Structures are given as structure tokens and as C-alpha cells.
Structure 1
């Protein structure tokens, strides 16, 4: 039995607690499910006969699946609605994980990983559209920052649950945790109320149907300006996940110590998302977006000068803090600039640009580390962060995001 359509509350009567379970519950479970299986995928690929480079490629298929499916995700969401897309993404991810568990062929295992990545694109887009429509504009940054933060919490908890399952039942048990997580997200998502379509005012004609091509044409200025900043932000964020363990290895720290540093940086990352969202709602997007990149850039430039556990930890904590205050930033900026009509197409392109940055950042780091040095690659990533800060400072409107949205209709 479906719930009645959801009508966004006014700012005066709205509270994030009202929508906590239906809005953030699926994100927590989806992140938990994926977090449980991600550390296991390269190990299972190796067990199926993959070489080390091939195992790395299998892991990369998750990101590739998300990248390639952003535009189809917008079509799926427009066709089935946000709730239908959330449910479909959970089922498709669960099916992909089940394929990984049940097959003994590397090619089918890789196909399952690709399916998991494809589901990411559909799920993330549907969640972003739903929150953009259902939450009053004055609460938008807090809602989307919390959405990103809750997903990170799930990704943080998932590996620990997966490790417990592996200890009790064996390597494949981690996929059981993953399947339970994504199917749980689909079950909660199935009870999310549908969004009401605003009625067309009397005397106005229905807007013309949008396409990907018309969206690119009509909003090319945003994509070529602020969108470029989003690409740079995503490149820096994705590179940070590689920078910390690689530099810890360069310093000859034990793997357990490197994991501790990475985990503490992730803990800082998870603690600051809601205050940052509140600042964005009250002071404007620039107040968080620009400092986020400046802090990460300074920490990246400092990291090659670290020489041991203590200094590496401080640099890593700074990176985690800078990334954490930027939680939901890309989603919020996309929501602010997305049109009411054709929003799915716009956000599909927006997420595609973000994923392009996420894919290119680590590749550039690897190229510079191989051709010059790891220190040069990390320093270049820091400079990219400063370039991102400059682009965001210049192109983010001076008004608050919610003021801009009201003015643009």
C-alpha cells in the first residue's frame, strides 16, 4: 500500500526530524550495504583468478558503472518517479551482489560489480531529487549535507559489519550483509510518499518537454562555469582517498597505522556535516564551499613535508575536516541551479560532471606520481583544490542558495 503524496511543508513548520527515517534511513542502509562489500571485492576477484591489475579494474567497474549510468538514471527517474527509482536501485544492487556471490566466473563477477555501480547512479540521483523537492528551500543545505553525511556513516560502519560476518561465516558473508543493506534501503524507500506535481497556474500553457540536449543548451553557462568547479572539487575529493594510504606507505608506516590514520580522518569527516549545512543555509554556500577546498589544498601541500605518524595524522585530519564540511556541497549547488521543470535531466548531467572529476583525479595523481614523484602528484592535487576554491568563489552567487532559488522560480 503506497503512502499519500508528499507535499513540502513550509519553512515555519518543517523539521528534519519529521523526515528522518524515510529520507535518511535508505541512505544509511545503502551506504552500509556498499561499505560491507567494497573491501572484499578485490579479494574475491583474486580468488577467481584475477591478476592484481585486473582486480583493480574490477573495483574500478563500480565507478565506471556509476559514471556511465548518470544520464540513463535521469531517464529512469523521470519515467518511474523518485520512489520507483529508489526501489529499483536497491533491487538492482542486490541482484548484482547476488551475482557476485553465486558465480565462479570472473567475467560474471565483474558484471555484478558493474551493476552495483549502475545502481549507485540511480539511487543517488533519485535521493537528491526527492530531497530537493520535499524539503523547504531554507533547509536545503542541511538536508543534503545530512544526506551525504548519513551515506558516509553507512560506508564507515559497513566494513566493520562485513568483517564480523566474514569472521563468523567466511569471505562471501560480507555480500550477505551488503544484500541485506541495499534491500532494506529499497524496503524503506518503497514507503516514501510520492511527490505531488505542482499544478499549472490558470492561463499558463504546460512547459515544453525537456531532453538532455535541450538541458545542455539551456544551462550551458552553469555547466561551463560552476560545473567546471564541481569537476575540480570531485577530483580533489577522490584523490584524498588515495593520498593518505600512499603517503603512509611512502613513510614506511605499518599498514595498521596507515589504516588508523585513514579511519581517524574519516571520523572527523563524519562529525561536521550538519553544522556545515547550517552555515550554508544561513550564511550562503560560499562560506563553506570555498573554505572546504582551501583547507584541503593547504593540507595536501603540507603532506609531502610530513615525516612521521604525528605530522601525517595532523595533515590527514585537516583533509578529513575540509572534506567533511563540504558534505552535500555538490548536491546543494546542483539543486540550487536546477530548474523545476526538467530537474532530473539537469541533475543527471551535474552528477556526470562530478563523476568525471572523481574518475580523473586519481588517474592524474597516478600519472604524476609515476612520471615525477608521489610528492609532486600530491602537491598538484593541492593546487587543483586552490583552483576549485577560486572557481567556487567566483561563480557561486553572492545571495544565499535559497534566495537565488526563490528569485529564479
Structure 2
């Protein structure tokens, strides 16, 4: 077909001039925030709930530890499940499973004193199911945003998703504190049930199922002008020839995305090591800040308040993180995260006073905020064009290795040498990670056929 004979494009086929993330507010971002408020509310009371059921202190820690272990081992099969049944069905199913699990937790709290063996078993099973539901929600939404938003908006889209989760985890504990003060521990679980129900209903009402390939999609892919009302599309109606570039038919798409049929083991290994340096920093932050505060003799209320302020600084940074990655490349988030967080630790070590502790902890939170969405964004960059959830499940498991290993590293260094050794080791891992990604991220992304902004190489 010649240019002159090509049908005239309707007005609605022009690229959207407004922020494409607005169309994802009701189907993705608001449900993510509501769901995170519920999970954030129960997180600080899980140990207290386990103790009230009859677990010992060590048993309570072990029971709650199951919650984290499930995320490491269950993510890959959950990713395959999402690919098989689709994002929308997976999210709805996860919401239902989570609500059932919360009801089991409430039942365990009610019958704990009368039948402790049954209550303990039921509580552990409920934690496993809640963790599975939370992981499906994370993977499903991540895959949906990665496939729905054009390359030029990818980091901002995923950083916004990460920001909603962080805000929920900040607001949730405040609600749980209020509810425990007024009623009892079980009321926090009822709040989580209500937020999960609301989030699931929003998915049912607003989340658009995948759109099958049509002639409109073919035309959009051919002309690189995505329809304005297209919230989700297939990557292309026909498979591009090997080595060709598949043009975006997504919200906010510009240019194209390299056609990746299989993940790159080299790029995945390079980025996996760098991301795990961030994961260790993040996990150890929750350990070393209270440990160092106690070592310095800081009052517990000051430690708690400092943690809250640090989390607040962390939470608001997602607004800047995505823009930095989209405009200046992934290193614009990776390097500040891997250097500013260690800088906060070094401030605490060098300035061993209460002001030094507070400033260092806040700098630590600032550094973590620079990396809002960076794990999800790099995972989306690494993932193949088809069956993204399969790879994202594996990627989540890889990223969780550092989360699981970090506290053990801090504990081992503290036991062997002292508290300061755990801080120095954590800071050193972060700086080593910064050097690693600085040296190797470019060849890793070249292997993927893209630049550091996730766009195809020219």
C-alpha cells in the first residue's frame, strides 16, 4: 500500500498528549495503594498475633519468617501461573485467596486459647496463603504495567507502582496502631480483609483484560501511533523477523522495544548481582538502624520516630526516581541508591551522637528512595516481549535472595566482630555494587539490544 492510498487515521488514533499513567490510576495504582495499606497494617502485628495464639518468642519469629521464605521459592511458579491464566484473573484469584487466609488468621486468634495446636497450624497456613496472594498481586500488577506502558514511560509507571506500595506500608502501621489502641489485634486483620476486598472489587470493575490482536493493533504497530483509548494491547499481531525492532503499541510508547524472545543469562546475572546489593542494603537497614541506635544508647522512642521519618523521606522519593530513570537511564537511580545509602551508614558510624544517628538514618532513607521501582524496571527491561510474568517471577526470586541473606550477614558480622562491623560490611556491599553496575551495566544492556533508558540501540 502506497502512502497516498493509506487510509486516513481517525483523530482518536493520535498519540496521547497527557500523562498515560492516569488511565492506570483506577485499575492499578489505587488498588495497589489500598492493598498495601492492608498488608502494611498487619506486618507489625504478626509477631504479636503469633504470641497471643501461644507461640514462643523464637516460634513467633520462625512463623513470621515463613512469610518471607514463600516469596523466594514461590515467585517463579506464580509467574508461570499468571502467564497461564492472565493478569486480571490472577489478581482476582489472589484477592480471594488472601481474604480467605485473613479469615483463617482471625479464626486462629479466636480459638487460640481453646485449641492451640490447631490454631498454630491454621495461623502458619494463613501466613503462607497471604504471602502467596501478596506475591501474585506484586507480579501481576508489575507485568500489567510493564506491558501497558510505553518504553519512554516504563520507569515512571513502575516507580509509581512501587511508590503506592511504599505509601501503603507507611500508612498501614499507623492504622494498626490506632485500631489496637481502640479494640484488639484481630481488628487489624479485619482492616486488611476490608482493604483486600475493596482492591479486588476495583480490579473486577476497572482492570481491562488483555486485548486480542486486531487490525487496529496491526495498524498502530505499523504506524507507531497507539490509539488513545488503548489501555492494553498485544505486542504485535505478527512476530517480527529475528533481529528486527517491534514498535510500541502501548500507552505512551515512542520509538520501539527490542524484540527479545528469551532472556539473556549474561544480562540477568550482571543485573541480578547489582540488584542484590540493593536488596542487602534495604534488608539490613531494618536491622542495623535499631541495632546501632541501641548500641549508642538512643531512646527507643527516638529510634522509632527516626525510622518513621526515614520511611517518609523514602516514600516521597518515588516521584523523582522514575523520571530520572526514563530521562537519564537506569544508572541515574542505581548509583544514588548504591552510594547514598552507604553514605548514610558512614555518617552514623562517624558521627556517633543522637543527631548523627538521626541524620544518617534519614540519608539512608533518601538513598533508598532513589531506587523506588528500580528492581521492577530492570526486571521489565530484562524480560522477553512475550510471557513477561514467567521471567518476572524468576526475577523476583533472584532479588529476594539478597533480602533473605542480608540480615544473616549483619547478624554474623555482629556476632563475630561487633555492631560496627555489620554497618561497615553493609556499606561496603553497597559501594561494591555501585562499582559493579557502573562497569558492567552498559555491556549487559547492549546484550539486550537497548540503551540504559530501555530503548533500542540505534
Q: Give the TM-score normalised by the residue count of structure 2.
A: 0.81
Deviation at 1:408, TM superposition (A): 7.4
150, 163, 173: which is aligned to 1:159? 173
Q: Is 1:79 aligned with 2:53?
A: no
Task: Tell me if structure 1 keeps the 8 A contact 2:277–2:433.
Answer: yes
Q: Residues 173-188 of structure 1: matches in 2 within 5 Å?
A: 173-188=187-202
Greater Cα radius of gyration, structure 1 or 2: 2
Q: What is the CA–CA distance in structure 2 between the aligned matches of 1:9 and 1:396, rounded to whole Å?
A: 35
Q: Is 1:370 aligned with 2:424?
A: no
Q: Is 1:15 aligned with 2:20?
A: yes
Aligned residue pairs total 394
Q: Which residue does 1:37 correspond to in 2? A: 42
Deviation at 1:167, TM superposition (A): 2.2
Task: Tell me if structure 2 keeps the 8 A contact 1:137–1:402.
Answer: no
Deviation at 1:388, TM superposition (A): 1.4
201, 204, 210: which is aligned to 1:195? 210
Detail structure 1 runs of 4+ shifted over 4 Å in the superposition.
7-14, 202-205, 215-218, 398-406
Q: Is 1:144 aligned with 2:158?
A: yes
Q: Is 1:407 aligned with 2:456?
A: yes
113, 116, 130: which is aligned to 2:130? 116
32, 46, 49: which is aligned to 2:51? 46
232, 243, 265: which is aligned to 2:310? 265
Task: Tell me if structure 1 keeps the 8 A contact 2:46–2:64.
Answer: yes
Deviation at 1:10, TM superposition (A): 4.3
Cα-Cα RMSD: 2.5
Task: Tell me if structure 2 keeps the 8 A contact 1:33–1:177.
Answer: yes
Q: Which residue does 1:236 correspond to in 2? A: 281
Q: What is the CA–CA distance in structure 2 between the aligned matches of 1:51 and 1:403, rounded to whole Å?
A: 49
Deviation at 1:254, TM superposition (A): 2.0
Deviation at 1:203, TM superposition (A): 9.0
Q: Which residue does 1:97 correspond to in 2? A: 102
Distance 1:337 1:160, change over 3 A: same
Deviation at 1:199, TM superposition (A): 4.4
Unaligned runs of 5+ in 2: 1-11, 113-118, 212-233, 243-259
Unaligned runs of 5+ in 1: 1-6, 206-214
350, 353, 360: which is aligned to 1:315? 360
Task: Tell me if structure 1 keeps the 8 A contact 2:313–2:362.
Answer: yes
Q: Which residue does 1:24 correspond to in 2? A: 29
Task: Tell me if structure 2 keeps the 8 A contact 1:297–1:382.
Answer: yes
Q: What is the CA–CA distance in structure 2 between the aligned matches of 1:42 and 1:119, rounded to whole Å?
A: 19
Q: What is the CA–CA distance in structure 2 between the aligned matches of 1:379 and 1:348, rounded to whole Å?
A: 32
Q: Which residue does 2:230 correspond to in 1? A: none
